[in-house]
Amino acid sequence: MRRADLVLLDLDGTVIGPDGQVAPEVWEAAARAREAGVRIAVCTGRAACGVALEVAQRLDPDAPHIFHNGALMLAGDEVLHGEEVPADALRAVVAHARHHTLTVELYTPHAIFVDRICERCAHHAEVLGQEVAERDLLEVVQSERVVRAHWIVAPEHIDRATALALAGCEVGQASSPALPESLFASVTGQGVSKGSAARRAAQRLGVELRRAMAVGDSPGDLPMLEVVGLPRVMADGHPDLIARYVSVPGVDAHGAVRALHEAVGLSR
């Protein structure tokens, strides 16, 4: 008998390693889990495009996959749920970025916009397999459905980027092993998190949360780890999470494989 009906997988540092790739062993374990009736959904801070979308669709094509830290849920190309960022907050973010000459991107369900494509932004887009368009961000705020604003800054500037007080928003920081020269901060609507999205995905699939597993490595994954019955943390993840939850091997040692095996009752 399997131990989980749903596995929620973070991507960076969990399924995708520093080389930007998913190990063949992960694909094999995912296929075996699906054959056993386990559903697999990504729950990531990445946008719903490029590598992230390709990985999601290969892991489980019809699952409700979560992007933008919970702000967007897709099944195939269909938008199942989207949470917009308040326009006043977005205008404040754009003004703050321009004043301090920092890079911020605005995400709609299917596109990414930036005032100017700088070297840091271009590298981020290249590694993640994303396309980014240059456009006046205030015009984007006025005419598009923005689900997330995303700071991409040097580590020494992250506090400056996140110092802005934003009513009606959630702000969370993240990093990527494939982009060690940058830190990231996401701005989403109030109440949006990987936890709220995990609840929504489980409900859509008719899965009890006690029968759901979540696998992550960073503080941004805490909301989804808190709501499931089977939380798992990568052994090379954040120390606070490792101290709190059951760990699996690090990303280079294919910890996601161990978690998927546990989900179908193949390891203890």
The residue type at 24: P
Can you give the residue ranges of every domain in the chain? 6-82+192-263, 87-189
Q: Tell whether the model's pLDDT for residue 77 goes beyond 90.
A: no
Q: Which two tokens stand for residue 205?
A: 């699939």
Mean pLDDT over each residue of the chain, to the nearest integer:
93
Fold match between domain 6-82+192-263 and domain 87-189: no
Backbone angles phi, psi at 89, to 5 degrees: -65, -40
Please check the confidence at residue 1 and state whether its pLDDT lies above 70.
no
CA distance 88 to 103: 19
Q: Given pLDDT bands bounded at 50, 70 and 90, which one contains residue 267?
A: low
pLDDT digits (tens, 9 = 90+) for 90-100: 999 999 999 99
**What is the CATH code for 87-189?**
3.30.1240.10
Residue 268 has pLDDT above 50, yes or no: no
CATH of 6-82+192-263, one of 3.40.50.300, 3.20.20.60, 3.40.50.1000, 3.40.50.1400: 3.40.50.1000
**Strand 6-9 and strand 39-42: pairing?**
parallel
Mean pLDDT of 56-80: 94
Percent of the chain with pLDDT strictly greater than 70 = 98
